A and B are shown apart, each in its own frame.
Chain A
Amino acid sequence: MTRILAVDDSPSMRQMVGVTLKSAGYEVLEACDGREALNIAKEQAAVDLVITDINMPNMDGLTLVRELRMLPHYRGVPLLVLTTEASAEKKLEGKAAGATGWVVKPFSPDRLLATIARIVI
């Protein structure tokens, strides 16, 4: 089963992402900030996709993306940013950090699932 790590400091956002992913048959792991997500990524054997918010305490989402890309087993894992930020500058920053794609909140479950189906092998 495809395993997805959802990272957001908001419990309600984690819940909505989780409901969306579970309804499509994905296994979901949750983290409340970048630091917790990085620990999970280092300790869990395999995560097929990471979906992360940007603005979070302890470690923000773009730092998480950079840190994950430095882990050998995460170089090829798709990393989606899910954020309210929609500026071209921020997107470029995300792309430079190593993000695979950018989803602007509030997300549409149909679009999110269609995107995941495209990028997760």
Chain B
Amino acid sequence: MARTSQSIDAAQAIAAAVAQIELAVREVQPAVEQLGTLIDHMATGLGELRNSRQRDADSEAISVFPDEFDQAVTGLQKNVHASITHLQFYDRLVQHLAHIQDFLSGAAGQLAGDTDEAGDVWGVLRNKLRTRLISEAQRELLDAVLPPPGGVQFNSRQAREEHAAQGTVELF
């Protein structure tokens, strides 16, 4: 690709966006790690609470006739499990942003004329991103905003089904 002043400006703008995404993820990482550690400590503490209780009482009676203590521990356990589920959305976000970063870096490289690749380099970049995206909803959004040359048939049902499948378990 022939380098022009505009394409170099565009490449620099994209490179700046990539750097900002990287910084945003890096800045939030320690807090999220801390959150994970806190959940870990809470889960460990709950296990110790249950064990100390069971040493002092008939465990069978506790399971059949839970008192306020047992009900409180069970409630806290549910909250810890819900925290584990919700924290996983952070992981999805980081993965999604990493793929966008790579895509943008590739685009900036093309605009700056850093690569000698010939052929449909934009199509290759797009397809690489599409392959790496982690959900049908993300791929559908890419197809809508940046469709492949031959066009695309939308399958929003598939994306809805995928969303509904979150958390499901299927044994073969």
Say if A and B assemble together: yes
* Interface residues, chain A, with chain B CB atoms under 8 Å away: 10-13, 15-16, 18-20, 22-23, 55, 84-87, 91, 94-95, 99-112, 115, 118-119
Bound-state Cα–Cα, A112 to B167, Å: 9
Contact of B169 among A15, A16, A87, A102 (CB under 8 A): A102
Contact bitstring B15-47, A, C-beta under 8 A = 1, else 0 = 000000000000000001100110110011011
Cβ–Cβ < 8 Å partners of B143 in chain A: none
Determine the chain B residues whose CB is within 8 A of the CB of A55 once the complex forms.
95, 132, 134
Say yes or no: A104 contacts B81, CB within 8 Å. Answer: no
What chain A residues lie within 8 Å of B33 (beta carbons)? 11-12
**Are A86 and B162 touching (Cβ within 8 A)?**
yes
Query: Once bound together, how far apart are the Cα atoms of A115 and B71, in whole Å?
Result: 24
**Which one of B3-11, B85-93, B114-122 is at the A interface?**
B85-93
Most buried by A among B80, B136, B166, B171: B171
Sample (21) of A-B pairs whose CB atoms are under 8 Å apart: A10-B95, A12-B32, A12-B33, A12-B87, A12-B90, A16-B84, A18-B40, A19-B39, A84-B135, A86-B135, A87-B158, A94-B172, A99-B172, A100-B171, A101-B169, A105-B166, A106-B85, A107-B88, A107-B167, A108-B81, A111-B169
Residues of chain B within 8 A of A87, CB atoms compared = 136, 158, 162
Given A99-B172, A111-B169, A12 and B85 contact (CB-CB distance below 8 Å)? no
